[in-house]
């Protein structure tokens, strides 16, 4: 091995180590920021080396076009990354994810249209075809996920015999893939048909899935994109792509299962049950009266409590109320000696870790934040629980009502606290569209209003005591 080849291979190895170490550091909020920088450095190294590699080997190098593409993509990503709201992060991930799947499929298409895929042997050809199928499905599926979360596609379209149609399109894709593998050399018509079929497959699979399940779907497509990239890494004999793709594939798979488990649902149920589909029907559920209280009155109850557990949810992110909330909590701690804890449900918000990120942004210390299994036993002895913009993750129907779509999902046992206060704007349901008996409980008081304004009023109430 000559010096340059050794340098290239060694750089890929270092890039792979940086990806894996970066991912490891992303496991804790304290080191996550650094983890992103490490993985990013690995990606820069792998990209620079890859640009250098073909030029060294074969004198290939359309550097102008490559740098132009990197420039346009880099600037676009920088601007959108800076501007994106926290609540819009899942759809941004969906979009970037789709681009990854599309890029993997594009590599496979170039290899197949040019005939190069047939020169590497049957195994690599099969990987190229599989990568094209998975990449194209992830691309169009992720675009649908983005459109749904962004509100561009408002209705969930469910065709009659949807599963039969999906099965038919999937079968057609597999048959075309087999025909390509069996072809002697480049088969442009078959490759074009495969591209169209797989793009349609991504659309028909994703369309019927309800908006509430989109984060799981995005994570699943993330895993598939990683797999497609790893397959194409074999086609291009590029170890960095193989390792990065495998890391993304396995991390995405784990995340998908973690989310499904946290909702006590199977992946099949997520993909085929149509959970959270907005069919325009009124939400059914418990009837009764919600008892409301003014923020100023509620703040007195909190001030005279010994212990308070706060449960944040998606509404906290919508209102961007984390800073005001932390201000109020600090007053409770310092001026009234209240023992305050935050309880985080694994699927609170719209992406894993959503609430942890919000609270970290406001400066809440990590030792005040508890996971569901660590805090649930404390609700029965807590003086008060304060739910801010959370709904499904505190719905007791998940424990008791077998007919409820969220039955079996582990929830935070807020209803067991002595007093429960819920901040939300109105009587709207959560993302699952299910009504919540907690809001009608004898020990529950609703503080209606935007979470940011209410937190500000709560702090104002404390000042007047
Ligand atoms: P949720 O069930 O969607 O409820 C959010 C509540 O916030 C709503 O009831 C809404 O009521 C209130 N709200 C909205 N804007 C507000 C504002 N500005 N101020 C005050 N309140 C506001 O949220 P969640 O309890 O966090 O549950 C998450 C849901 O997402 C679950 O169904 C979960 O399964 C699903 N999900 C999450 C993930 C994940 O990774 N996190 C993944 C897959 C699925 P009003 O309209 O009345 O204000």
Nearest-5° Cα angle at 143, 352 to 265: 40
For residue 426, report the distance from its CA to the centre of ligand 1, in Å: 13
For residue 422, report the distance from its CA to the centre of ligand 1, in Å: 13
Q: How many residues are listed for the chain in this entry?
A: 465
pLDDT for the residue numbered 55:
52
State whether residue 448 is helix, strand or coil.
strand
> Ranked by mean pLDDT, which of 269-278, 291-300, 430-439 comes out on top?
291-300
CA atoms within 13 A on the CB side of 272: 11
pTM (two decimals): 0.80
- Token look-up 């399940």 returns 213
Give the residue with greater pLDDT, 258 vs 174. Answer: 174
Read off the pLDDT band of 242 (50, 70, 90): very high
pLDDT for the residue numbered 87:
77
Q: Is 392 a catalytic residue?
A: yes
Average pLDDT over residues 335-345: 97
> Quick check: 341 and 370 in contact, CB under 8 A?
yes
For residue 317, report the distance from its CA to the centre of ligand 1, in Å: 9
Substitution candidate for ligand 1 out of 216, 315, 405 with most atoms within 8 A of CB: 315
Say how far apart CA 134 and CA 343 lie, in whole Å: 38
- Give the strand order in the sheet containing 444-448: 369-371, 339-344, 307-312, 384-388, 419-424, 444-448
For residues 201, 207, 211, 216, the Cα torsion angle rounded to the nearest 10 degrees is: -10
For residue 123, report the distance from its CA to the centre of ligand 1, in Å: 46
For residue 373, report the distance from its CA to the centre of ligand 1, in Å: 20
Tell me: pLDDT of 280 over 50: no
- Residues having CB closer than 6 A to ligand 1 are 212, 215-216, 259, 263, 313-315, 318-319, 347-352, 354, 389-393, 423-426, 428, 430-432, 450-451
Catalytic residue (choose from 213, 392, 415, 457)? 392
Say how far apart CA 399 and CA 392 lie, in whole Å: 12
Read off the pLDDT band of 276 (50, 70, 90): low
Distances (CA, A) of 398 to 264, 308, 421, 454: 10, 23, 20, 28
CB neighbourhood size of 255 (10 A): 20
CA 7 to chain centroid: 36
pLDDT for the residue numbered 275:
62
Average pLDDT over residues 112-130: 92
- Counting from 1 in the atom list of ligand 1, the atom nearest the Cα of 432 is 32
Tell me: pLDDT of 109 over 70: yes
Q: Which residues of 223-243 are buried (b: 16+ CB within 10 A; e: fewer)?
A: bbbbbbbbbbbbbbebbbbbb
Max CA-CA distance within the chain?
Answer: 84
Q: Considering only 12-16, 57-61, 130-134, 353-357, which range has the smallest mean pLDDT?
A: 57-61
pLDDT tens digits along 26-51: 888 789 889 999 999 999 999 888 88
Substitution candidate for ligand 1 out of 371, 388, 392, 395 with most atoms within 8 A of CB: 392
Read off the pLDDT band of 274 (50, 70, 90): low
Tell me: pLDDT of 282 over 80: no
- Going by C-alpha positions, the residue among 56, 60, 48, 65 that lies closest to residue 12 is 48
Tell me: pLDDT of 187 over 50: yes
Question: What does pLDDT average to over the chain?
Answer: 90
């Amino acid at each position: 091995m000559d010096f340059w080849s050794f340098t290239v291979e060694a750089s890929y190895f270092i890039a792979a180590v940086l990806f894996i170490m970066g991912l490891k550091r992303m496991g804790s909020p304290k080191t996550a920021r650094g983890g992103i920088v490490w993985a990013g450095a690995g990606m820069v190294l792998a990209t620079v080396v890859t640009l250098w590699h073909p030029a060294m080997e074969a004198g290939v190098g359309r550097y102008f076009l490559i740098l132009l593409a990197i420039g346009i993509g880099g600037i676009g990503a920088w601007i959108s990354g800076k501007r994106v709201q926290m609540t819009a992060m899942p759809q941004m991930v969906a979009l970037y994810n789709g681009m990854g799947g599309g890029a993997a499929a594009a590599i496979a298409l170039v290899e197949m249209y040019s005939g190069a895929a047939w020169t590497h042997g049957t195994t690599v050809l099969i990987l190229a075809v599989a990568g094209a199928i998975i990449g194209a499905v992830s691309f169009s599926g992720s675009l649908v996920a983005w459109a749904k979360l962004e509100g561009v596609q408002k209705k969930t379209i469910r065709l009659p015999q949807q599963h039969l149609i999906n099965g038919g399109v999937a079968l057609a894709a597999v048959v075309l893939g087999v025909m390509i593998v069996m072809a002697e050399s480049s088969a442009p018509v078959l490759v074009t048909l495969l591209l169209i079929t797989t793009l349609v497959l991504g659309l028909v699979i994703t369309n019927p899935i309800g908006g509430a399940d989109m984060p799981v779907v995005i994570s699943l497509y993330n895993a598939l994109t990683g797999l497609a990239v790893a397959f194409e890494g074999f086609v291009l004999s590029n170890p960095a792509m193989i390792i990065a793709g495998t890391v993304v594939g396995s991390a995405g798979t784990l995340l998908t299962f973690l989310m499904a488990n946290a909702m006590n649902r199977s992946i099949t149920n997520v993909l085929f049950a149509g959970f959270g589909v907005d069919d325009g029907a009124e939400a059914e559920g418990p009837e009764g009266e919600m008892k409301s209280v003014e923020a100023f009155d509620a703040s007195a109850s909190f001030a005279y409590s010994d212990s308070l557990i706060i449960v944040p949810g998606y509404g906290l992110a919508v209102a961007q109320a984390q800073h005001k909330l932390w201000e109020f909590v600090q007053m409770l701690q310092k001026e009234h000696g209240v023992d305050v804890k935050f309880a985080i449900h694994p699927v609170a918000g719209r992406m894993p870790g959503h609430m942890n990120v919000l609270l970290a942004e406001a400066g809440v210390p990590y030792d005040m934040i508890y996971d569901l299994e660590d805090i649930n036993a404390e609700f029965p002895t807590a003086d008060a629980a304060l739910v801010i913009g959370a709904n499904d993750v505190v719905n007791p129907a998940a424990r008791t009502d077998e007919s409820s779509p969220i039955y079996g999902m582990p929830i935070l046992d807020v209803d067991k606290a002595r007093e429960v206060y819920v901040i939300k704007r109105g009587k709207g349901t959560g993302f699952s569209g299910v009504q919540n008996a907690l809001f009608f409980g004898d020990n529950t008081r609703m503080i209606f209003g935007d979470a940011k304004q209410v937190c500000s009023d709560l702090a104002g109430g404390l000042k007047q005591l």
